[in-house]
Amino acid sequence: MKGQIFKIHSDFYYVDTAQGTYECKIREVLKKRKDAIVVGDFVELEQLNENSKQAFVSKVLPRKSFIPRPKVANVNQVIIVCALKEPELDFEQLNRYLSFCEYYNLHPVLCFNKNDLEGEEEIIAKIKKIYEPLNYDIIFTSALEGNGIQDFKALLKDRTTVLCGSSGVGKSSLINAIRPDLNLKTKQVSEKTERGTHTTRHCEIITLENNARIVDTPGFSQLRFDFLMPADVGLLFREIIEIQKQYGACKFSDCIHEHENGCTVQLHPEMMDETRYNSYLQFVKEAKEYKKQVTYSGKKTESKSKFVHNKQITKISSKKRQTSRRKSNQDIDKELNE
């Protein structure tokens, strides 16, 4: 018997199957797995007896996707929920979510909620100007008034979707709007901090009509780019990839698009919004911290090679492209010493 884990509580794994819901424990051999069993995993069960709704998880099936923070498997879409107001839209956080979707090869949708407040025309125009040219799917909703809820439901059909976003933006309210019987807890944004408080305490898959599943999570906390090398961060930004496709790669192979000579990205600032570029610089800063740790420890990771292999980017011929500045300086020193 096969099913999908939709909730984990203490040592119990709740599995949705064609025969109903089963409360399960995992076999001892699975406790020795390198990767923990998580919500979203498809598993095989051994039923205790014919009349019981209890079983053992005997096997974990291969994953199609995985998100480590929070740990969720077999997701194929991420809806990034932001509030147009209350709390104020944080572009860096939004770009952070988008970049993580790019890294894990998950389809992102931008959902701007609370589209029922006054004075939103300017921020809506800015959002469209930045993200529509990048071909991101965008919807505007109001869980309170029902605006855009049908568009929201249509996006969920036949997909397993993670909702992410800062606390207080209305994730639980959106789910309640399409499944009022769930009555998920919601809280108002604090007037003092202009932030909400997390009302979801654990990951859980909620099944909806039209073969739709939503993963309600406690939040994507502490998302930092402390696992990539600085030169790879640009692969997370669609406009940087597009600039290099149109105008060629940068002069140096280790260019990080800050202030280097011959940087193609720097030569075409009109193709990248300032908020996006500022986010990029922040992520590069975090990646530099990771690079220092790798340099000092002498340990290498596979994240760079796997990530670069999975990303398609037009690069000029190695014969035409210059080597890194460090290699160039080494060659000059060698000639002077000969």
**Residues 128-163 pLDDT 10s:** 999 999 999 999 998 888 889 999 999 999 999 999
From 39, 62, 85, give the residue that closes a domain: 62
Do the strands 107-113 and 204-207 form a parallel or antiparallel pair, or are they unpaired? unpaired
Give binding residues for Zn(2+) as ranges: 250, 255, 257, 263
Q: What pLDDT does 284 receive?
A: 96
Domain boundary among 62, 88, 111: 62
Q: Hunting for tokens 């929070």 — which residue is that? A: 70
For residues 72 and 103, membership in a common domain is answered with: yes
Looking at the structure, tell me whether residues 77 and 162 fall in a common domain: yes
C-alpha angle 61/66/68, rounded to 5°?
Answer: 130
The answer to whether residue 183 scores a pLDDT higher than 90 is no
Number of domains in the chain: 3
Question: Is a pLDDT exceeding 90 seen at residue 321?
Answer: no
Question: Does some domain include residue 234?
Answer: yes
Asked if residues 22 and 47 have their Cβ atoms less than 8 Å apart, the reply is yes
Q: Which residues fall in the annotated binding site?
A: 113-116, 165-173, 250, 255, 257, 263
The pLDDT of residue 101 = 94
pLDDT band at residue 290 under the 50/70/90 scheme = confident
Q: Which residues are annotated as a binding site for GTP?
A: 113-116, 165-173
Average pLDDT of the chain?
A: 83
Between 305 and 82, residue with greater pLDDT: 82
Say if residue 275 is in the same domain as residue 176.
no
Mean pLDDT across the stretch 24-32? 88
Domain of 245, in residue numbers: 230-337
The count of C-alpha atoms lying within 13 angstroms of the C-alpha of 197, restricted to the half-sphere facing its C-beta, is 6
Looking at the chain, the whole-number percentage of residues with pLDDT higher than 90 is 52
The answer to the question of residue 222 being in a domain is no
What's the average model confidence in pLDDT over 161-166?
Answer: 88
Q: Quick one: which of 49, 53, 40, 44 has its CA closest to 26?
A: 44
Q: What is the tens place of the pLDDT at every residue in 185-242?
A: 555 544 443 444 444 557 889 999 889 999 987 766 568 888 889 999 999 999 999 9
Query: Is residue 123 domain-shared with residue 245, that is, in the same domain?
Result: no
